[in-house]
Structure 1
């Protein structure tokens, strides 16, 4: 998200790099200039407004005199990094008392000697503005592709409802009091599967500034529903690994939101696709390609008995195609290539019905044949059961006939990696 008026601009002025080897004693500050063009996004999560969600989370209660530690895996190397925080859905400013980043250990522990205190415009604390965002100053911490880091945020005061990412499929931890600098996991006695305020980590150094990041944009299938918690088995994770294995390593960023819709906003499932596309895709540092896989919720919520999105409008193929065209136009206007993925088979799921079946066939045919996407990955055919074109292959089914399992996400990633490496994308 490129809205960091409090922390960065087109060219950053001289910044203080706060480095601690033992955290308690700070190394003297180092001065340097990092240009905006040098940053590459290494990880991201799409922000959502506080909500109950499908499993317990802390978003509605927020934090008060607590530390929250969040572990995320980066997909590109660097010698320095910064974190990005979002209070997009917060009605008032949130005071961040302290923040650290470190190489992750097991669970909530971090590797001794790797803890770095973060600063914000030179200060150790900062206000995260209402409906706004904030980036930290750069801090030297060398990271490798597929290395996990732990970001710990301490809020001495009361935050109110927290902007968060609901379905992280990764464990975050909470402790009472200031434990931002702790290397041990002892104090972090509570856990959840969501991310809070943390919306991105960018790196500089390493592979150099390249505009080749791939953003995967979509709903719960992109977000990773059905994958194993803490295993980094979502299809974007697998895609990053497969590109690296092919010798075509690129940052891969997951901008999926479970339940998200192309055409309509939802309190639980986020702003509709075009409303969040700039923030979650185009403003990511170094983005060059976006993979769009979205539309099944626009069709399926009108068929489903789920109470989380009612009344759900009945959407036509023409309306859904118009939504896809808008995303293509937005990307092309910024010079970003767009890969269209056909909707996966979903017969037998709670999203299936006569109307959804008809419209999904029409939309998939348009994606395949219109030529409006720069490239196409036909996941509808790749993921279908043998002899049953509308059914998700049981070998790839997480159990709800809609979302893939770990094996299915691996297959999806393979097809997308093949397309990305066969073309100049």
Structure 2
């Protein structure tokens, strides 16, 4: 890979850069590997914490050209340095899935690509449509309204950079808000407090945040589907906020469409909780079966057709 024709590049703090185009064969569903070498002076200060995918660190030295895996002794489950691979396909369109850990696929099976955006991509491919891609822009711990020292910029702030700047994005599926509701109640602690600031939220505040994101999408001609917040076994006060927010998502017609993940996952006997077979075990994050049910709940034709408008 080269950068402006050069084999190396320096990226300023907080910056990003694209490599020059690379002509390489790819096939749908087949894993690829990207190897990169960082100078000795580099420290890893930003990474994607929940990848649900094994990545490898080498022994000291430049091993990017190694065909063997012998030098890659250490395994991690975070993505580092590389944030994405763009494929040149001028006639194609992109569905962007953005949200928190439930979009990120936390607690899904390692190396199995069982997140709900993965399952949605398979549904699109199985429908015979080869012109629509799905990208996963979820960040575990992310909030709609509040930045975090660990979980990144608030979604309302990062939406332009992370979604609207993606090439070919025509449609967005937005699932965010449960961390805004929950983190206010997390007890502060010394050292690095990832849940800080412990900002109290209201229904009106969340709705205002959704409206900001919707307006940004519409200003760029991008359609946006709002997803209802999934059950999380919340105490009554927080559950009341979740319920009211979901009612607004379903009935306000502010979004271009609605994906009712709440209805797809909730236990009929107790709608405040995940159905047992859809619960990964922590009462918040779905199991593989739950993530699959989420993808199945997405109205495929309206979502895919929205990429062509």
Structures share fold, TM-score greater than 0.5: yes
Residues 1:390 and 2:272 are matched in the alignment: yes
Matches within 5 A, 1:63-212: 118-175=1-58, 176-204=60-88, 208-210=89-91, 212=93
State the shift of 1:407 in Å: 0.7
State the shift of 1:380 in Å: 0.9
State the shift of 1:274 in Å: 1.6
State the shift of 1:168 in Å: 0.8
State the shift of 1:422 in Å: 7.4
| Other-structure match for 1:10 | none
Matches within 5 A, 1:331-342: 331-342=217-228
* Unaligned segments of structure 1, at least 5 residues: 1-117
Mapped to 2, the partners of 1:185 and 1:342 lie a distance apart of 43
Matches within 5 A, 1:354-393: 354-393=236-275
Mapped to 2, the partners of 1:390 and 1:423 lie a distance apart of 33
Aligned to 1:203, the other structure's residue is in SS state: coil
Matches within 5 A, 1:29-48: none
| Other-structure match for 1:412 | 294
8 Å Cα contact 1:243-1:417 kept in structure 2: no
Mapped to 2, the partners of 1:203 and 1:421 lie a distance apart of 21
Mapped to 1, the partners of 2:21 and 2:305 lie a distance apart of 34
Aligned to 1:156, the other structure's residue is in SS state: coil
Aligned to 1:290, the other structure's residue is in SS state: strand
Report the TM-score when normalising by structure 1: 0.68
8 Å Cα contact 2:231-2:271 kept in structure 1: yes
8 Å Cα contact 1:375-1:419 kept in structure 2: no
Higher Cα Rg, which structure: 1
Equivalent position to 1:316, from 202, 208, 212:
202
8 Å Cα contact 1:242-1:417 kept in structure 2: no
Structure with more helix by fraction: 2
Matches within 5 A, 1:202-351: 202-204=86-88, 208-210=89-91, 212-249=93-130, 250-305=132-187, 307=189, 308-347=194-233
Deviations 1:345-371 (CA, angstroms, capped at 9, x unpaired) = 111xxxx22221111111100000000
Structure with more strand by fraction: 1
Mapped to 1, the partners of 2:276 and 2:302 lie a distance apart of 26
| Structure 1 moving runs of 4+ over 6 Å | none
Aligned to 1:364, the other structure's residue is in SS state: helix
Aligned to 2:163, the other structure's residue is in SS state: helix
253-262 or 305-314: which moved more? 305-314
Aligned to 2:167, the other structure's residue is in SS state: coil
Deviations 1:174-222 (CA, angstroms, capped at 9, x unpaired) = 1121110111111100111111111110112xxx413520110000000
Mapped to 1, the partners of 2:109 and 2:188 lie a distance apart of 24
Mapped to 2, the partners of 1:421 and 1:279 lie a distance apart of 22
Mapped to 2, the partners of 1:216 and 1:271 lie a distance apart of 17
| C-alpha distance 192-422 of structure 1, shift in aligned 2 (>3 A) | closer
Mapped to 1, the partners of 2:53 and 2:266 lie a distance apart of 28
> Cα RMSD over matched residues?
1.6
Equivalent position to 1:353, from 229, 232, 235:
235
| C-alpha distance 276-170 of structure 1, shift in aligned 2 (>3 A) | same
| C-alpha distance 424-285 of structure 1, shift in aligned 2 (>3 A) | closer
Deviations 1:46-79 (CA, angstroms, capped at 9, x unpaired) = xxxxxxxxxxxxxxxxxxxxxxxxxxxxxxxxxx
8 Å Cα contact 1:215-1:254 kept in structure 2: yes
Mapped to 2, the partners of 1:285 and 1:238 lie a distance apart of 22
Mapped to 1, the partners of 2:262 and 2:95 lie a distance apart of 21
* Unaligned segments of structure 2, at least 5 residues: none
249-258 or 411-420: which moved more? 411-420
